[in-house]
Amino acid sequence: MKKMNRVLTILAGLAFVIALSFGSAGPVHAQTINGAGASFPYPVYSQWAYKYNQITGVQLNYQSIGSGGGIRQIKAKTVDFGASDAPLKKADLDEFGMIQFPMIMGGVVPVVHIKGIKPGELKLTPDVLVDLFLGKITKWNDPAIQALNPGLSIPEKDVTIVHRSDGSGTTWIITHYLTAVSSEWQEKVGASKAVSWPAGVGGKGNEGVASYVQRIDGSIGYVEFAYALQNNLTYIQLQNRAGKYVSPTKESFMAAAANADWQHAPGFYMVLVNQPGEESWPITGASFIILYKDQTNKETAAAILKFFDWCYQHGKEIALNLDYVPMPDNVIEIVQNVWAEEVQHNGKSLWK
């Protein structure tokens, strides 16, 4: 049912974009905002855009072409805003006179396929997870795994790693997590949207990884939170920074989000992994919007800020329905302070 909702959302978004491209379909005085970038938040952005259009008549044209494409397009000034699953460094933003802010959060869930193991049964620590992805643990009945799961009978099966073959924000988040918990991972592999994986096979997109995991007995992969939830994949319990085992649920994601210290993140460059808190799921990330500080078109710029403000204030339910995690109120306040200070037209602030 949830999946159905998401499909419908995407269809509605598509129909909306098509209607836009013919121009005549919208209201007469329609203001149009153009954006491009990350595909991970596309379902929620298009749903927001659809609702917002019904209320205000303002049209959002969002091209889900990938974060890399979004950054390239905003740099070339062909769109009004860019969207990226990975934050840009403060220095990069300053070079182009841009700001970024977090719009929506999600996370990544390791999923396994081991005969006889049900969702949420298998417990892993960060160290064991790293050793699995490094290819150091090659059998599922390895003593290190059995010691963590005394009640489970785990078969002697070869471990197959399934990773993303395409560059993606999902990979960015999980490799940053592995880097945060292991210096060996940091040295040997590192963190990026695509890395040189020590072992395993690559599937294209969440659906590619999910189908390989379901296909290959003894496999472990990682997918977006929403994707794991909607497809009933065999997720694991992971030990968090506080030493507690947590399952990937909306609550554990919100807990991680609430504990993040955005106030002290310059340029909102924040890697949300391994957050403190007893309830926090450790592999989370935010998706970002990128804007120019100096806006040339006053009306468009004001419309953009108004739209994102509406999403922050009134878009929470839509986001939760689609299994995303909305930004907490204290973070919204910090973001809007930055808008007021930095986003300008002819030296005048566009947000009060």
Partner 1 sequence: MVNPRKNRRYQHNKGDLFFKGLALLCAASVPLLMAGILAQLISSSSLSLKEFGFGFLTSQEWNPVTEVFGALSSTFGTIVSTLIAMIIAVPLGLVIAVFLVELAPPKISAFFGGAVELLAAIPSIIYGMWGLFIFAPIMADHVQPFLDKYFGFLPLFQGAKMGIGMLTAGLILALMILPYISSVSRDVFNMVPTVVKEAAYGQGATTWEVTRAVVLRYSLRGIVGAAFLGLGRALGETMAVTFVIGNSHRISASLFASSNSIASTLANEFTEAVEPLYLSSLVELGLVLFLITVGFQSMAQVWLWSIRKKLAD
Give contact residues for partner 1 (rule: CB under 8 A): 65-69, 71-72, 158, 160, 165-169, 189-197, 200-204, 208, 211-212, 215-216
Q: 67 vs 287, which CB is nearer to partner 1? A: 67
Q: 58 vs 137, which CB is nearer to partner 1? A: 137
Is residue 36 within 8 A of residue 69, CB to CB? The reply is yes
Q: How far apart are CA 231 and CA 38, in angstroms?
A: 22
Which residue, 245, 271, 244, 247, is CA-closest to 260?
A: 271
* Minimum gap (Å) between residue 337 Cβ and partner 1: 28
Helix (H, G, I), strand (E, B) or coil at 96: helix
Q: Which residues of 133-191 form beta strands (DSSP E)?
A: 160-164
Helix (H, G, I), strand (E, B) or coil at 72: helix
* Minimum gap (Å) between residue 129 Cβ and partner 1: 19
* Minimum gap (Å) between residue 167 Cβ and partner 1: 3
* Minimum gap (Å) between residue 211 Cβ and partner 1: 6
The HSE-up count of residue 328 (CA atoms within 13 Å, CB side) is 14
Q: 63 vs 237, which CB is nearer to partner 1? A: 63
Helix (H, G, I), strand (E, B) or coil at 168: coil
Is residue 30 within 8 A of residue 58, CB to CB? The reply is yes
Q: 207 vs 333, which CB is nearer to partner 1? A: 207
* Minimum gap (Å) between residue 117 Cβ and partner 1: 19
- For 219, 271, 315, the CA distances from 125, given in Å and listed in that order, are 17, 20, 35
Q: 67 vs 239, which CB is nearer to partner 1? A: 67
Q: 43 vs 203, which CB is nearer to partner 1? A: 203
Question: Which neighbouring-strand residues pair with 63?
Answer: 36
DSSP state of 322: T
Q: 290 vs 335, which CB is nearer to partner 1? A: 290
The HSE-up count of residue 17 (CA atoms within 13 Å, CB side) is 17
* Minimum gap (Å) between residue 74 Cβ and partner 1: 11
* Minimum gap (Å) between residue 242 Cβ and partner 1: 29
